[in-house]
Amino acid sequence: MVDALFAGLMIVLSWPTIAYMIVGVIIGLFLGVLPGIGGPVILALLLPFAFTMGKVEALTFLLSAHAVGVTGGSVTAILFGVPGTGTNAATVLDGYPLARKGEAGRAIGAALAASAVGGVIGAFTLAALIPVLRPLVLSFSPAEFLMLSVMGLTFLTALSEGNSLKAAISGLLGLLFSFVGEETIMGTKRFTFGQMYLWDGVKLVPAVVGLFAVAEMVALLAEGGAIARNGSISWRGGPVSGILEVFKKWFLVLRCSIIGIVVGIVPGLGGDVACFLAYGHGAQTTREKEKFGEGNIDGVIAPESANNAKEGGALVPTIGFGIPGSAGMAVLLGALMMIGLTPGKELLQSNLDITFSLVWMVALANILAALFMLIVTPSLAKLTVIDGSILAPGVLVVAFIGAYLSSESLGDVLCALLIGMLGYGMKRYGYSRATFVLGLVLGKIVEQNLFLSLRIYEGPGFLISRRITFVLFVLCILILLFPLFRRRFSPDGTNKNHSEGNDNLR
């Protein structure tokens, strides 16, 4: 086992391999910065190039490009409120407000460091899990998916303390939007108004582009001035301060990485959920004085550590069963087969060194990506002091292209525009957009797994009879009661962080 661990590292560090990794990381970052191009698309684009490479080189090239795609996407999320992929959507919630405060550098530094640390944690958890990988994947069924996503919904409470009515309204509106489209249980088409575009439901990328990028740019134009409100980058804005904060908050990073890993291990829950779960968790436990959604650094660190850790988790079912944990992993599976490796028992027994080299690749690629981005961060942060009337039109164009690229459909552009109008209204009148997105992401998953569980286990008995489900169920109840406890035990009898409510994300 230990031999294989080092043999794996040697594979990655041997000469041409490491060069392919560097090239892969740079391409992955560059493509990741372009909105709408996420991990799976990057892999599909790069696959033809990999044909001409050697086996291990090809795998290194593809895996490192894929692993760091999200890292690039977080930069645009923070600077302009344009998420590179659905996975980066949660980073917008607090990252962009930080950029408005002139702390873009700090936010990017924190995001990159959190990504790198999360990625490394994810990779090594994967390594630690290798012996128990197969039983672990099999212990999660729709009942556990259900409780995980319900737990996500309980985070709505954390995000809506204070002005809970408005936040609850937006959360429910988000749930309502998640019901649009063809549901998978009976094939009924809901709220589609005869439009085939709506059969697939309201998609996350155009929705988030609308809610944040469009709404924020319109607001920026209305207010005048630059993204950094004071027209200058604040002294707290350096990327180094952001990096240091990540290491100070190692426990938050660890917890959020675990959330990411669990979601990654479970195929079919969707990677986007991981970041929102982590974000919700961060909101619940933050000790920063800023409110969540108004530029709290924890709101950047939490989702960023989860989304790179998730990739390590997603490798678990891919390696163990040849069942991809995400869309990107499906393409990676093709690459594995291409170099003549069959996922499943073989990769866990006779080819263990290759399996460990995958772990090292993910870890090293994440660190490299963070280093590369740090070099360019100070110059990128300067974009936030450009006057809005010059910057906003350009950003809007990029945002709409991002919405379009996510599935090459004009419907997505229209969707981004309409939701953008809704988003501006919500911002104006203080309705939380974070809870809206949480509702939108989780609604479908909760519904689907609820019906699946009820049919598989023939009734709601599974809540008690399945061990993991029961533990998660109890946890959900505790999370719901948590604010009450906190209020009782905090010294002045009120909740310090959330006392003025969540008019945030204005």
Partner 1 sequence: MKKIIVCILCLCLFISFCLFAVAAVKEGDLKEAARFYRGKVITSIVPTKPGGSYDIYARLLIPFLEKYTGAKVVVKNISGGGGTMGINAMYRAKPDGLTIGNLMIAGTSHAQMVGAEGIDYDLLKFTYLCRLTDDPQVFVVGKNTPYRNFSDLLKAKEKIKLASTGTSGATYIGALTIKLGFDLANVDVITGYQGGQDCNLAVMRGDVVGMVGSVSGRLRNIKDGDLRPLVVFASKRVPDLPEVPTVFEFGARGDKLNILKAFTITSDYARVFVATPGIPAEKVEFLRITVQKSMQDPKLLEFAKKQGYEINYLPGKEVEKAIKEMFANPPKALIAELKKVM
- Please give the Cα distance from 377 to 372 (Å, whole number): 9
Secondary structure class of 226 (helix, strand, coil): strand
Residue ranges of alpha helices (H) inside 249-351 are: 250-265, 271-285, 298-321, 327-338, 345-349
Question: Measured from the CB of residue 316, what is the shortest distance to partner 1 in angstroms?
Answer: 12
Task: List phi, psi (to 5°) of 38.
Answer: -105, -170
Among the listed ranges 76-84, 197-205, 208-216, 305-313, the one in contact with partner 1 (CB under 8 A) is: 197-205
* Closer CB to partner 1, 189 or 486, in the complex: 189
As to burial, measured by CB atoms within 10 angstroms (0-12 exposed, 13-18 middle, 19+ buried), residue 401 is middle
Which region among 167-175, 227-235, 407-415, 420-428 touches partner 1 (by CB under 8 A)? 407-415
User: Where in 431-450 is the site for partner 1 (CB under 8 A)?
Assistant: 448
- Does 178 sit near partner 1 (CB under 8 A)? no
User: Which stretch, 80-88, 150-158, 451-459, 478-486, contacts partner 1 (CB under 8 A)?
Assistant: 451-459
Q: Backbone phi, then psi, for 160, in 5-degree steps?
A: -120, 15
| Residue at 372: amino acid letter | F
Q: Report residue 458 CA to chain centroid gap.
A: 34
Six-digit token pair at 145?
Answer: 């998916």
Which 338-357 residues touch partner 1, going by CB under 8 A?
338, 342-345
Does residue number 481 form part of the binding site for partner 1 (CB under 8 A)? Answer: no
Encoded amino acid at 71, one letter: T
Residue number, 411 or 430, with CB nearest to partner 1? 411
Q: Encoding tokens for residue 9?
A: 């590292």
- Select the residue interacting with partner 1 from 124, 179, 321, 482 (CB under 8 A): 321
DSSP 291: P
Please tell me the distance from the alpha carbon of residue 269 to that of residue 267, in angstroms, as a whole number: 6
52 lines the binding site for partner 1 (CB under 8 A): no
Q: Counting contacts by CB under 8 A, is residue 465 touching partner 1?
A: no
Of the candidates 64, 61, 30, 67, the one whose C-alpha atom is nearest the C-alpha of residue 48 is 61
Q: Are 75 and 30 in contact (CB under 8 A)?
A: no
Residue 184 as a binder of partner 1 (CB under 8 A): the answer is yes
Count of residues of this chain found to bind partner 1 when the rule CB under 8 A is applied? 49
Maximum Cα–Cα distance across the chain: 67
Q: Which stretch binds partner 1 (CB under 8 A): 4-12, 15-23, 169-177, 185-193?
A: 185-193
Of the pair 41, 111, the CB lying nearest partner 1 is at 41
Per CB under 8 A, does 334 bind partner 1? yes
- By CB under 8 A, tell whether 459 contacts partner 1: no
Instruction: Work out whether 317 is an interface residue with partner 1 (CB under 8 A).
Output: yes
When computed from its CA atoms, the radius of gyration of the chain, rounded to whole angstroms, is 22
Among 1, 2, 15, 186, binds partner 1 (CB under 8 A): 186
- Does residue number 191 form part of the binding site for partner 1 (CB under 8 A)? no
Contact status, residue 161 vs residue 502, Cβ threshold 8 Å: yes
Q: Distance (Å, rounded) from C-alpha 90 to C-alpha 83?
A: 8
Rule CB under 8 A: is residue 53 a binding residue for partner 1? no
Binding site for partner 1 (CB under 8 A): 40-41, 43-44, 47-48, 51, 137-138, 141-142, 182, 184-187, 189, 196-197, 199-200, 267-268, 317, 321-324, 327, 330-331, 334-335, 337-338, 342-345, 406-409, 411, 448, 451-452, 455-456
